Homo-oligomer: A and B are copies of this chain.
């Protein structure tokens, strides 16, 4: 039975990526697409790459008949999302892709996002959407909060290692490299082709990136004590992809064993042979994660590198995976397309 899907905020990159994924999903059909500023426009005008699809025109959220919707994806900007979701029907299944419901503690939310939360009760209800680690909760959830794309990448490396106790919790460094689509369709000088191509730089340096709130919340809960990692991302001249390089204190062979054991039954997450590391080229456009482990020449130090596509597995692909669970569909449904290479 085909499920009826709405996408709120369909004029941004994560919204468009949802449409792309759902367009070949065997059990989902898009029945509503919203975009406040572009309401009334056909999607083929906003995103000509979707021209071949028979899609509803963009409309306002207030014009959506939610009684006919099985699940809504909410791809709205941070802060807007909570304001919208709190007024939606309370029995509507929702996967939110914004940052609004990722942090369970409202004080943490306020600290990282600089404003009080507008829907604290929903924040408590929301399930954190890192599928492979919250599968049962997601299956039972009404509201799932998609993770940050950087936060997902780091957690795929670190969660099993923290749980297994094989790394020094006070010595976790995450040097992350990410593509520009993670910044969305925002019009900023540093996102122009002329200023981004052919060069790189760090940003949100020194522990100021908001995804640290997610790392702190999740890792501390896992460890049963506060864990604060060091994390700085770098903006690379590429559109899709995150490569996370974790510099760790721990035995590389043991780390590899732990990751292999944890992920051997996961269809989306692939641990490479020991001593090899992944490339973002090999996951682009897909819902897969590649993880590699190498030992450093200094004994007791290890390098773990993970690659995923920020728009897909890091955001919209994860959202579809979670929606599959929430709707009682097969988890992989619509998500096993191969990466695009070259």
**Chain A residues within 8 Å of B, Cβ to Cβ:** 13, 16, 19-20, 23-24, 47-53, 173, 175, 177, 179-181, 185, 187-189, 191-202, 205-208, 212, 228, 230, 232, 234, 236-241, 243, 245, 247, 252, 267, 270, 272, 275, 277-286, 288, 290, 294-298, 301, 303, 305, 307, 311, 336-342
Contact = CB atoms under 8 A, between A and B. Distances in A.
A185 B175 CA distance: 29
A239 B338 contact: no
A228 B298 contact: yes
A237 B239 contact: no
B237 A238 contact: yes
- Pick from A193, A195, A208, A234 the residue with the most CB of B within 10 Å: A193
Copies of this polypeptide in the complex: 4
Contacts of A267: 52
Given A180-B194, A198-B284, 5 more contacts: A13-B342, A49-B338, A50-B338, A195-B342, A247-B247
B49 A294 contact: no
A272 B23 CA distance: 21
Contacts of A280: 199-201
Contacts of A281: 49, 195, 198-199, 201
18 contacts: A50-B338, A52-B267, A52-B270, A52-B286, A175-B175, A175-B247, A180-B193, A187-B189, A193-B193, A195-B281, A197-B237, A198-B284, A200-B243, A205-B305, A207-B296, A230-B298, A232-B303, A237-B237
B194 A191 contact: yes
